[in-house]
Structure 1
Amino acid sequence: MLKLKTSLLSLIFLPCTSFATVGGPQNIEILGYDHQDQKVYLLKHYEDGRGRLPQLYYYQFKNNQHPEKLIQVNSLYINPKTKKIDYDQDSRLFNQEIRKIKNRLQLLITISKSTIKVQILNKTTSKEKSWYDPNEFIPKYKYTYQLTSKNFKSQIHQAIDYRQGLSISQAYKIPNQQKIIATVKYLGLPFETGYTIEDPVLLIPKK
C-alpha cells in the first residue's frame, strides 16, 4: 500500500514540460518621433517563452534617399562582459537606455486604421508539413502587398500567413512629416495554436 501511495504521489508531481507553451506573438510598439534627428523609433517584442530583449529599430528621414528602410539597432545589445551581441542578458541596462530615448521623443498622432487599405498584388497558396505531425499538412499563403491611403502609399512588401488574411492593426501620422506608419498583422507563426506577427510599414506621399 505504501508503494502504491508513493507511486501516485510521484505521478502527481511529475513536471508537465511536454505541455509547456514556448511560442508567442511578435508585436510592434511605436515609441515616437525624434524631431531633432528626424527618426521614428519602434520596438519589436517577442512574446514567447525565451524572454529575449525586444529589438529596437528606427526610420531615418534626415538626409536619407530611402526613408522607408527600417534600420536595426545593435549597439544596445552588446554584453559588457563578452563584448558580443546578447539578446538574453539582464534587461535593466537596456530598459534604462530605452527610457532615455523615450524622453526625447514626440508621440505620433493616431489615425483611423480604416483609412489605410491593404492592396494584394499577388497571392500564392501552398502547403507545408505541420509542426505537430509531419504527416499532416497546413495551408500556407504568401502575399505580395502594398499599403495605400488617399494620398500615401508604401513600398511593396511580402508576408507569409497561415490563416489567409492581412489586417491593419495600428496607424499613425508622423508629426512634421508627410508620412504615415502602419502595422500589418497576420498569423505568421503556425506553431501550437498559431501566433500573430506585426510588421511596420511606412507610407510616403504618392507621386
Structure 2
Amino acid sequence: MSKIIASSILLMFSCAAFANDYSNITLEVLGYDLNTNHIYVVENSKSYSIPKVYYYSLNEKKYDLPKYDERFTAINDQVKFEQTLAKIQPQLKPLKALDLGNFKLNLVEQKQSSQQDSTPLTSVYSSIFTVQDSQNQSKVMNLTSYSPDIKLKQAFELPRNQGALITFESLSLPFDEGYTREEAIILFPNRQLPQ
C-alpha cells in the first residue's frame, strides 16, 4: 500500500513539474543592424532552454518572413547565449516605438469549432485578420487559437519608411489552461504589399 501511495505522490510531482515547463511566449525587439539591414527579435519563454533569436531582412522584397539567426541555433548554454547576444547588441539601433492606438486589427473572419478531447480548452478559433494604420498595412494573417481575443502588444517604425513591425498576443498554446503567444507582423507601406 505504501508503494502505491509513494508512486502516486511521485507521479503527482512529476506531472506538476511537467506542467510547469510551459509558459507564455513573449517577444523583445532588439533593434536594427545598419550593417546587415536586419531587424533582430528575441523570442522568450520559460519553456525554452535558450531564447530564440530571429531577424527580418529588409534587403529582401518579402521582408516580412523571419529567419532564425544561425549563430544561435546550436547554442544550448545560457552563458554562451548571453555572450553571443552581447556581441551583436552594440551594433543595433533601437527602433522608434509607435502608439498602438493608431493601429487597427481588422477581423475578416473568425470561425469557432469544438474539440473532441476533454482538455479545459474546448473551443478552437480560426481567425483571418489584417493590421493597419493610416500609412501601412499587413498581409492577410491566419491564426488558430483557443480564445477569440487577439491583442496588439507592441508597435515599431521600420527604418527608411519601410513600414512597421507590430506584435500581437493570442491564447494559442493549448497546454494546461492555455498560454499566450506573442507573434510579430510586418506592415508594408500602403499599396506596396508584396505578391
Residue 148 of structure 2 corresponds to 164
Residue 34 of structure 2 corresponds to 35
Residue 75 of structure 1 corresponds to 71
DSSP-derived class of the 1:169 partner? strand
Q: Greater CA deviation, 189-198 or 146-155? A: 189-198
Alpha carbons 1:59, 1:70 under 8 Å: kept: yes
Residue 140 of structure 1 corresponds to 124
Residue 124 of structure 1 pairs with residue 124 of structure 2: no
Q: Structure 2 CA distance, aligned partners of 1:65 and 1:137?
A: 39
Q: How does 1:14-163 map to 2 (within 5 A)?
A: 15=10, 16-20=13-17, 21-48=20-47, 51-62=48-59, 64-78=60-74, 89-130=76-117, 133=118, 138-163=122-147
DSSP-derived class of the 2:22 partner? coil
Residue 201 of structure 1 pairs with residue 185 of structure 2: yes
Structure 2: tracts of 5 or more residues without a match:
none
Q: TM-score, normalised by structure 2?
A: 0.84
Alpha carbons 2:121, 2:178 under 8 Å: kept: no
Q: Structure 1 CA distance, aligned partners of 2:167 and 2:53?
A: 15
Q: TM-score, normalised by structure 1?
A: 0.80
Shift in alpha-carbon separation, 1:99–1:128, aligned structure 2, 3 A:
same
Residue 182 of structure 1 pairs with residue 178 of structure 2: no
Alpha carbons 1:57, 1:70 under 8 Å: kept: yes
Shift in alpha-carbon separation, 1:47–1:67, aligned structure 2, 3 A:
same
Q: Structure 2 CA distance, aligned partners of 1:154 and 1:138?
A: 30
Shift of 1:41: 0.4
Shift of 1:137: 6.6
Structure 1: tracts of 5 or more residues without a match:
1-6, 80-88
Deviations 1:70-120 (A, max 9, x none): 1122332226xxxxxxxxx21211211111111100111111111111111
Q: Structure 1 CA distance, aligned partners of 2:56 and 2:15?
A: 41
Letter in 1 for 2:91: R
Shift in alpha-carbon separation, 1:169–1:18, aligned structure 2, 3 A:
same
Cα RMSD after superposing both structures: 2.1
Q: Structure 1 CA distance, aligned partners of 2:182 and 2:46?
A: 12
Alpha carbons 1:53, 1:91 under 8 Å: kept: yes
Q: Which has the larger radius of gyration?
A: 1
